[in-house]
Amino acid sequence: MASPETILIVDDDDAIHELLKAVLSSAGWRTQSAGSGEEALNLIRANNYGLVLTDIHMPGIDGLELLRRIRQVRPSTKVIVMTGDSTSEHLLTSLRDLAFSYFSKPFQISDVVDTIEQAFRTPEPDDGIELLSASPNWVSLRVRCRLDVADRLVQYFVEIKTDLLPKDREDVATAFREMLRNAIEHGGKLDPTQRVHVAFVRTSRAILYYIRDPGEGFNMEQLPHAAISYPEDKPTEHILYRTEHGLRPGGFGILLVRNLVDELIYNEQGNEVLMIKYLT
């Protein structure tokens, strides 16, 4: 019988098995392998794995059907989906069926290891991400106010096809991560009973990210703890304020995001923000 700390690797590519087994074993995890969805499902019925890493494209039961069936027989088992042929349909199906995370091949092994560590730290059951709209051009979700959930959602959004240049994709991902973490930490007060609403919208000319937090909002002109409130020739004034008031280092978020996206728009209350990046 496999222990709850064992990771099941499901892929019909022997090279992927050997790579993941070597990396995960060196990190201290036990692994087992399955070369097909059918073999994996039989193992999962007989064993309580802590995590399943599955490819999508396999003969017989593919990875997405395996994910759906795991939800039926082992609903608390976390699943990370991997694919060499990422599509919007694959990604949204993975989100809808509560995959813990999603990676396109080739991926950075270090990113996968970090996500596995996070999966083992995350309590069960996990309902941190709730999918509301699954249109490829309009994805909307409710997200629990936990920073670990924010990091998971950023990985999903990084995988969405946007036609942005690589540097622009990286900038947008950084901006989205910063604004989402701000919404969870400051708007939601890190209260996991509260939710942040998030949307991704793609038009023919732009990519839009929308975030609404459950907080009271803020006045952009009254942020003495933020770098955005001071002139460019006084870049450290907010640091002095944060130190005097016992706040953690930081305060550069809004200023950073303004330099990473084309438009940053807040509503009057200050608890909704829209980030826009134009397609070139």
Split the chain (280 residues) into runs of 10 and give each run's mean pLDDT.
Answer: 78 89 91 94 93 93 95 93 89 93 89 92 80 92 93 90 88 94 92 96 96 87 62 66 64 78 94 94
Model-level pTM? 0.85
What's the fold here for domain 1-123? Rossmann fold (3.40.50)
In the chain, domain spans: 1-123, 127-280
CATH class of 127-280: alpha beta
Contact 92, 139 (CB under 8 A): yes
pLDDT value at residue 256: 81
Cα 69 to the center of its chain, rounded Å: 23
- Which pLDDT does position 122 carry in this prediction? 86
Predicted pLDDT of residue 194: 96
pLDDT of residue 242: 66
**Cα–Cα distance measured from residue 147 to residue 152, given in angstroms and rounded to the nearest whole number:** 9
pLDDT of residue 280: 78
What pLDDT does 86 receive?
84
Which residues partner with 220 through β-bridges? Answer: none
Q: How many CA atoms lie within 13 A of 52 on its CB side?
A: 35
